[in-house]
Structure 1
Amino acid sequence: MARAATPAITALLSAEIPHEVLQYEHDPRRESYGEEAVRELVRVQGVDPAQVFKTLVVASETLPKGLGVAVLPVPAKLSLKAVAAALGVPKVTMSEPAAAERATGYVVGGISPFGQRKTLPTVVDASAMQWNRVLCSAGKRGWEVAVHPQDLIGLTAAVVADIQA
């Protein structure tokens, strides 16, 4: 097995999940990482913006490790209420960036749902099921990975729910 560049790619290779790594030139001056990914992937790959998913870390005192993960299309707004319901907790808030980075092992803007340092409860937006492949962070700014939605759900042991506001 070839040495993978990120823990996310290592996790996909270890699980023998078919995937494609897509790269674009990340502009370090950009702070809207998801919008940058959408713009570049639409331009270079011709994907639909709703196919590009972001990985957000949420916090709740009632989650086992205090954190959970929400994966949804970049253009969509997150419903914290829907995420809480999907994860079976009364309430969630957005995690502090430093806590998200510590738990996942990735920097903000490069947080992948795969290969995280700690296994966190995950919910994937139901819209993923309409695609034959979705794109999400490969664990590094400017790197995306395309996978089948069922593989995203299976490898992350995610629940599927409508989590868009």
Structure 2
Amino acid sequence: MSKTTRATLALQQAGISFTVHTYDYDPQAERIGLQAAEAIGADPSTVLKTLMVTVDGKPACVIVPSDKEVNLKKLATALGGKAAQMMKPADAERMTGYHVGGISPFGQKKRVPTLIEESAFAHASVFINGGQRDLQVKLAPRDAAKFLDAKIAALI
């Protein structure tokens, strides 16, 4: 089933090769990324979650494997800051234009510094949210990093 979102349109316009994967989103899931991995039958380390954070009060986007937690100290250091914290859900939704559980790094309303966990590059392809709660896009991590002008760093 084809789904079109701001994220998929942005990738198409940039000429990025990707495939779309839909799944049954479970709003009761304790960990959304792990639920997505299970639903699409993928290794959780290849399904990346998109997190919105602030570093010294400035917004940033962080992409890490769904089975890992971001280390806020490493994140702050990677962006040259002192302190990082998770963005409040309402602020993340307002900034990105997406709903929590469907936040994609692609096609956000406002471009912010983006970091991708270095372990993602051990895989030929990864899944990243496609802009809604039941949609993942599969693409090469290098293509995602190039498109997002993302910094690659050890974040877990």
Counterpart position of 1:108: 100
User: What TM-score does the superposition give when structure 1 sets the normalisation length?
Assistant: 0.89
Contact map agreement 2:3 2:20 (CA 8 A) in 1: no
Q: Deviations over 1:13-54 (max 9, x none)?
A: 010000000001123443532121011122xxxx22100000
Identify the range of structure 1 (3-12 vs 148-157) with the bigger mean alpha-carbon deviation. 3-12
Give the whole-Å Cα distance in 2 for the aligned partners of 1:15 and 1:100. Answer: 24
Q: What RMSD over aligned residues (CA atoms) do the two structures have, in Å?
A: 1.5
Where in structure 2 are the equivalents of 1:70-149 lying within 5 Å? 70-149=62-141
Deviation, 1:142, is 1.1
Give the corresponding residue for 1:20: 19
Structure 1 position 77, deviation (Å): 1.1
Q: SS of the residue aligned with 1:139? A: coil
**Consecutive unaligned residues in structure 2, runs of 5 or more:** none
- In the alignment, the residues of structure 2 paired with residue 115 and residue 12 of structure 1 have an alpha-carbon distance, to the nearest angstrom, of 8
Q: Which amino acid letter does the alignment assign opposite residue 148 of structure 1?
A: A
Count of residues in Structure 1 that have an aligned counterpart in Structure 2: 155
TM-score of the superposed pair, with normalisation by structure 2: 0.94
Percent of paired sites with the same residue: 37
- Kindly state the Cα deviation for residue 85 of structure 1 after the two structures are TM-superposed: 1.2
Of 50, 54, 60, the match for 2:55: 60
